[in-house]
Amino acid sequence: MQVSRSLFDEVMVPNYAPSAVIPVKGIGSRVWDQNGREFIDFAGGIAVNCLGHCHPALVSALKDQADKLWHLSNVMTNEPALILAQKLVNATFAEKVYFANSGAEANEAALKLARRWAKNEFGEHKTQIIAFKQGFHGRTFFTVTVGGQPAYSDGFGPKPADIVHAEYNNLASLEALISDTTCAVMLEPLQGEGGIITPTPEFIQGVAALCKKHNALMIFDEVQSGVGRTGHLYAYMGLGVVPDILTTAKALGGGFPIGAMLTTTAIAKHLVVGTHGSTYGGNPLACAVGIAAFDTVNTPEVLNGVKQREQLFRDGLHAINAKYDVFSEIRGQGLLIGAALNERYQGKARDFMLAAADEGLMMLVAGYSVIRMTPSLIIPEADIAEGFKRLDKAIAKLAQA
């Protein structure tokens, strides 16, 4: 069957606007399209391909599990699910794990658990959820409403109730909203979609203190920042606070769909049998790949390498900015990097992304005025250098336009 971009318009729901490029092969941080054209991948499938494309450990794990057991549902458990859960418990604050298929589903579980915990522990009145403007927590109706970007949640009728939004990095804004009716405060420990915004230490410490004061759970959405992305296994480990609930997905499966919610025994006990579930959650194939990804990432070599590569990305962006004066600020941590466009290029992040693609470089945007890079955590230095050569060519053309 001949496949082209036009087929998308014929058979797919039009909620996406994919590029004309159709990749067919990837190895490490390089990708080839139908015509054999090569791209350097600074996008990583939106922070998903933490070990690049077709990493041998992940391929081997998937092939091995494919010959054993594909699916059971949670009527029974399976070995890969239990092994991965044990690894997550051993490596984090968590004592209990719930598996899902995506970050949105992990966040849905976290929010439902918070509401149930508050109801059981304090009563029907404690239902308020506070999140932050420009946050992003998924596309279910509950999670997209909690996410602080109305453009994503408007237009679908009445929204889930008792959800309010504070300003990120503004503790006074949170303090004005939080009360003893608040059941949870949900935030990204490094905002992704909202523009790659790093929290101040004072803000994070203040959020934790306010949650404790008002008996509210602190939920960290680490869907994008987790699994080594910041140079820590999870970002909270570098912030001096411990969340009550943490969600993880994206890089957890290195490209295979899986998500998880992590929490303590005392909180987890409120999701009793029948209160929540997922047919595919904890799928043996996904968990087997997740084990391989987790074991590969959770090593000093890889985590320390993230910090080293971060500096190469920062150096590359600063060098380009010295030549073309297009960025006002370089943001982020580890390999979740954002370059905010200066006043002359406001609203043109997509133009930069498309120009880069024309030169054979895949990257992302974070809003209308920030370009985003979330490459493989083990991207070779040669690929970083080549990617920046291509970005230089792209920006040179934009600067001359």
Chosen domain end from 281, 297, 313: 297
- Residues of the chain with pLDDT > 70, as a percent, come to 100
Residue 95 has a pLDDT of 98
Per the structure, how many domains does the chain have?
2
Write down the residue that tokens 């001096």 correspond to.
Answer: 240
- Tell whether the model's pLDDT for residue 147 goes beyond 90: yes
The two tokens of residue 82 are 């239990």
Chosen domain end from 243, 268, 297: 297
Tell me, what CATH number does 21's domain have? 3.90.1150.10
Closest residue by Cα to residue 249 from 385, 47, 89, 21: 47
Confidence of residue 238 (pLDDT cuts 50, 70, 90): very high
Q: What would the pLDDT profile of 185-201 be if each residue is shown by its tens digit?
A: 999 999 998 899 999 99
Alpha helices in 43-137 (DSSP H): 44-47, 56-66, 79-91, 103-122
Specify which residues 26 forms β-bridges with: 31
279 labelled as ligand-binding?
Answer: yes
132 with 221, same domain? yes
Confidence of residue 229 (pLDDT cuts 50, 70, 90): very high
Sorted by sequence, the CB contacts under 8 Å of residue 282 that are 6+ apart come out as 74, 77, 78, 81, 99
223 labelled as ligand-binding?
Answer: yes
Mean of pLDDT values over 128-144: 96
Residue 400 has a pLDDT of 81
396 with 291, same domain? no
Mean of pLDDT values over 112-136: 97
Sequence letter at residue 83: I
103 with 181, same domain? yes
Chosen domain end from 244, 267, 297: 297
120 with 222, same domain? yes
Contact 307, 377 (CB under 8 A): no
Contact 33, 4 (CB under 8 A): no
Tell me, what CATH number does 99's domain have? 3.40.640.10
Confidence of residue 145 (pLDDT cuts 50, 70, 90): very high
49 with 162, same domain? no
Mean of pLDDT values over 222-239: 98
273 with 305, same domain? no
Write down the residue that tokens 């998924």 correspond to.
Answer: 138
Confidence of residue 165 (pLDDT cuts 50, 70, 90): very high
Residue 2 has a pLDDT of 81
Residue 1 has a pLDDT of 81
64 with 211, same domain? yes
Residue positions counted in the chain = 401
Give the span between the Cα atoms of 58 and 53, in whole angstroms: 9
Mean of pLDDT values over 158-169: 96
Mean of pLDDT values over 258-278: 97
37 labelled as ligand-binding?
Answer: no
252 with 323, same domain? no
- Tell whether the model's pLDDT for residue 399 goes beyond 90: no
122 labelled as ligand-binding?
Answer: no
104 labelled as ligand-binding?
Answer: yes
191 labelled as ligand-binding?
Answer: no
Task: Provide the mean pLDDT of the chain.
Answer: 97
Q: What would the pLDDT profile of 178-188 be if each residue is shown by its tens digit?
A: 999 999 999 99
8 labelled as ligand-binding?
Answer: no
183 with 97, same domain? yes
Closest residue by Cα to residue 357 from 33, 17, 25, 8: 33
Q: Is 197 helix (H, G, I), strand (E, B) or coil?
A: strand
Q: What would the pLDDT profile of 308-351 be if each residue is shown by its tens digit?
A: 999 999 999 999 999 999 999 999 999 999 999 999 999 999 99
231 with 369, same domain? no
Task: Quote the domain boundaries for residue 145.
Answer: 57-297
153 with 189, same domain? yes
98 with 237, same domain? yes
Mean of pLDDT values over 224-242: 98
Residue 317 has a pLDDT of 98
224 labelled as ligand-binding?
Answer: yes
Phi, psi of 400 (to 5 degrees): -85, -15
List the catalytic residues: 136, 221, 250
Q: What would the pLDDT profile of 40-81 be if each residue is shown by its tens digit?
A: 999 999 999 999 999 999 999 999 999 999 999 999 999 999
- Tell whether the model's pLDDT for residue 401 goes beyond 80: no
